[in-house]
């Protein structure tokens, strides 16, 4: 990709990190340290959520995707530079066959302290046991509504019963914490937030809302976002006050709130109304091996080429690519500014 944002001069293809930054942990030119890597394992999905991807998609050929060995090798290099947390995503990661094998390879990397997975849950009931056995403990399951008709309308597929069965299976197997991710989208959230919150309180799941972002296939308008403040008012009106969590991680994208009655926790990822770019610690690798320093990045670095090169110093080239990608990260995504430029990839092809 070669597109350039008019106001964002930093380019992934740009300058190498200066020597001082090279010896330190993964740091960008604004002083943000990076320890968190999102790994997409496929661009395929068994749902077609309207806010995420188009109905008609040409998926990448299997040969274009990184193998598990390539993902593990890339992660090993990244961990040596300071990454200690990874999350597997997609597309729908459970469509990638033998995923527990990858979890096992990652779990064996010294220094990697946290492996998570984000899934739509449709195939979770059949895979929960093997994933847990492989070493996965942290699970986010996306679920926007408990209403079968609204589920079908949003996901353009059936599947609510299977997602609920997946969540029950994951809980029975021992996953903890289980977070339920719901889109914060006007026309949906005002009808579903309370029932989702009740379901999560009853089951010991942590509910997290993600404000609708301009990264799907359809047009985006700020007025379509169900904002964090509206959510707090809606849930507070039903369940009583929500208080900011005392153990809030300042680098986490979600602002966490606890129900004052002890009924659990709600997180809100307010990328639109309360952008958290200033504390961003994440980078991403797509299923086809492109390194992205922001969900909204317009430039990428191809690391698949480096992983497949017959070069004995390839690990050093990969490390240099990671450092350069991080160093050149821009200050923020500019969603709320007229200068915003939407990336050509939609969410399913990046990895949410």
List interacting residues with ligand SAM (CB under 6 A): 45, 51-52, 89-90, 92, 118-120, 142, 181, 183, 210, 212-213, 215-216, 347-348, 352
Q: Which residue, judged by CB position, is nearest to ligand SAM in the bound state? A: 352
CB closer to ligand SAM out of 167 and 210 = 210
| CB-CB contact of 74 with 284 (8 Å) | no
**Residue 179: CB minimum distance to ligand SAM, A:** 10
**Residue 190: CB minimum distance to ligand SAM, A:** 17
**Residue 14: CB minimum distance to ligand SAM, A:** 27
CB closer to ligand SAM out of 89 and 325 = 89
- Cα distance from N-terminal residue to C-terminal residue, the chain: 19
**Residue 58: CB minimum distance to ligand SAM, A:** 17
CB closer to ligand SAM out of 146 and 314 = 146
CB closer to ligand SAM out of 17 and 128 = 128
Residue 79 has, within 13 A of its CA and on its CB side, a CA count of: 19
Q: In whole angstroms, what is the distance from residue 164 CA to residue 95 CA?
A: 18
Smallest CA-to-CA distance from 239 within 211, 278, 197, 199 is with 197
| CB-CB contact of 136 with 177 (8 Å) | no
**Residue 66: CB minimum distance to ligand SAM, A:** 17
CB closer to ligand SAM out of 82 and 216 = 216
**Residue 148: CB minimum distance to ligand SAM, A:** 17
CB closer to ligand SAM out of 208 and 265 = 208
């Amino acid at each position: 990709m070669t597109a350039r944002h008019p106001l964002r001069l930093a380019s992934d293809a740009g300058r190498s990190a200066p020597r001082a930054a090279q010896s330190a942990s993964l740091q960008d030119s604004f002083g943000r340290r990076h320890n968190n890597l999102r790994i997409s394992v496929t661009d395929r999905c068994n749902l077609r959520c309207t806010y995420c991807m188009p109905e008609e998609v040409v998926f990448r050929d299997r040969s274009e995707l990184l193998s598990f060995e390539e993902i593990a090798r890339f992660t090993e290099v990244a961990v040596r530079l300071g990454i200690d947390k990874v999350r597997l995503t997609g597309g729908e990661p459970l469509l990638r066959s033998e995923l527990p094998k990858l979890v096992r390879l990652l779990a064996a990397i010294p220094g990697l302290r946290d492996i998570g997975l984000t899934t739509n849950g449709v195939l979770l009931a059949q895979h929960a046991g093997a994933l847990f056995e492989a070493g996965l403990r942290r699970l986010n399951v996306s679920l926007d509504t408990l209403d079968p008709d609204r589920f079908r309308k949003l996901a353009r597929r059936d599947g609510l019963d299977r997602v609920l069965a997946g969540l029950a299976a994951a809980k029975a197997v021992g996953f903890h914490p289980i977070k339920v991710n719901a889109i914060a989208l006007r026309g949906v959230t005002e009808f579903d937030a309370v029932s989702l919150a009740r379901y999560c309180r009853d089951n010991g799941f942590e509910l997290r809302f993600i404000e609708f972002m301009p990264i799907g296939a359809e047009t985006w308008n700020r007025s379509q976002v169900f904002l964090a403040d509206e959510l707090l008012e809606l849930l507070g009106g039903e369940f009583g006050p929500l208080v900011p969590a005392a153990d809030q991680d300042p680098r986490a994208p979600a602002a966490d709130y606890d129900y004052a009655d002890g009924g659990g926790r709600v997180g809100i990822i307010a990328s639109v109304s309360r952008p958290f770019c200033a504390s961003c610690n994440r980078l991403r690798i797509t299923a086809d091996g492109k390194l992205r320093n922001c969900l909204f990045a317009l430039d990428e670095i191809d690391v698949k080429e480096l992983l497949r090169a017959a070069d004995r110093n390839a690990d050093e080239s990969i490390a240099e690519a990671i450092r350069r990608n991080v160093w050149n990260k821009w200050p923020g995504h500019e969603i709320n500014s007229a200068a915003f430029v939407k990336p050509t990839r939609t969410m399913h092809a990046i990895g949410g």
